[in-house]
């Protein structure tokens, strides 16, 4: 299982430009012919399933919408996003981009505010989103990223990881690959956790191993070549310190 932004796809690009890194995609497709692959992401299904069509399952919008085998498993007790949409609309008029994240019936269950390439500063945008927390929405921002996510219910990639494992009848441990503290619950829910380093502080990652993003394709290639037999001696990864 893998996160998308910052893990198998680059940060700092527009939604339209976002794609899985070239050879990373090639190796993921090879691996998908050996074991199930799932993408666990803050993106919605409309976005992610076309970019990772080789996957067997997708946990979208921070795990609020899990898709497997043409079925959707939607988180219960989702909050009406109308007040959040109104707030974000006023911010979007000032040069940032609002990305709506939709559930299986087209309903908005989350959104992202992206200031990549904007003159607006991240702390200013995040400060303007703060009132949404008092309204019961869940605002998530990684200081190393140029966007913030707003959810209609508490996101949990760990919960989604467990659900995907159950739905796909996976026995034993799974590997989770991620790059931010939002992936920590999924790291804990997996049997083998690998953090992807791309210049961000990795001390906040609760993973066992680290791989540089520039070496991720090589790491995946070695797994595919070895029939998914992971060994700490694989030179592409290093054990996380601390």
Is the pLDDT at 120 greater than 70? The verdict is no
What is the radius of gyration, based on Cα positions, of the chain? 17
Is the pLDDT at 53 greater than 90? The verdict is yes
Residue 202 lies in a domain: yes
As for how many domains the chain has, the answer is: 2
Out of 98, 132, 151, a domain closes at 151
pLDDT at 232: 85
Is the pLDDT at 185 greater than 90? The verdict is yes
Q: Are residues 31 and 130 in the same domain?
A: no
Residue 10 lies in a domain: no
**Which whole number is the average pLDDT over 152-166?**
97
Is the pLDDT at 119 greater than 70? The verdict is no
Residue 96 DSSP symbol: -
Measuring CA to CA, which residue among 62, 7, 1, 5 is closest to residue 195?
Answer: 7
Q: Are residues 89 and 207 in the same domain?
A: no
Q: Are residues 133 and 226 in the same domain?
A: no
Q: How confident is the model at residue 52 (pLDDT cuts 50, 70, 90)?
A: very high
In whole angstroms, give the CA distance from residue 148 to residue 53: 26
- Report residue 51 CA to chain centroid gap: 13
Q: For residue 40, give Cα distances in angstroms to 67, 69, 232.
A: 10, 16, 24
Q: Are residues 43 and 95 in the same domain?
A: no
pLDDT at 4: 98
**Which whole number is the average pLDDT over 31-58?**
97
User: Considering the chain, what percentage of its residues have pLDDT values greater than 90?
Assistant: 79
Q: How confident is the model at residue 106 (pLDDT cuts 50, 70, 90)?
A: very high
Which residues on neighbouring strands pair with residue 147, listed in sequence order?
114
**Which whole number is the average pLDDT over 81-95?**
86
DSSP class per residue in 103-144: -TTS-EEEEEEE-TT-SS-HHHHHHHHHHHHHTT-EEE--TT
69-73, 91-95, 108-112, 140-144: least confidently modelled range? 91-95
Rounded to two decimals, the pTM is: 0.94
Q: How confident is the model at residue 144 (pLDDT cuts 50, 70, 90)?
A: confident
């Amino acid at each position: 299982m893998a996160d998308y932004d910052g893990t198998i796809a680059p940060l700092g690009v527009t939604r339209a430009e976002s794609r899985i890194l070239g050879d990373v995609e090639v190796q993921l497709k090879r691996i998908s012919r050996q074991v199930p692959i799932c993408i666990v992401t803050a993106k919605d299904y409309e976005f992610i399933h076309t970019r990772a069509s080789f996957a067997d399952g997708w946990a979208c919008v921070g795990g609020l919408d899990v898709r497997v085998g043409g079925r959707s498993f939607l988180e219960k007790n989702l909050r009406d996003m109308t007040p959040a949409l109104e707030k974000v609309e006023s911010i979007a008029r000032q040069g940032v981009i609002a990305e709506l994240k939709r559930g299986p019936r087209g309903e908005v269950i989350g959104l992202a505010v992206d200031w990549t390439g904007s003159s607006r500063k991240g702390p200013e945008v995040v400060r303007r989103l703060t009132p949404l927390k008092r309204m019961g929405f869940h605002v998530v921002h990684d200081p190393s990223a140029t966007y913030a996510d707003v959810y209609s219910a508490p996101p949990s990639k760990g919960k989604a990881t467990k659900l995907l494992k159950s739905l796909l009848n996976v026995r034993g441990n799974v590997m989770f690959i991620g790059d931010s503290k939002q992936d920590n619950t999924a790291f804990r829910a997996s049997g083998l956790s690998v953090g992807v380093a791309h210049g961000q502080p990795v001390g906040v990652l609760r993973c066992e191993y680290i791989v540089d993003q520039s070496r991720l394709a090589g790491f995946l290639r070695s797994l595919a070549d070895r029939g998914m037999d992971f060994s700490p001696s694989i030179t592409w990864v290093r054990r996380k310190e601390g």
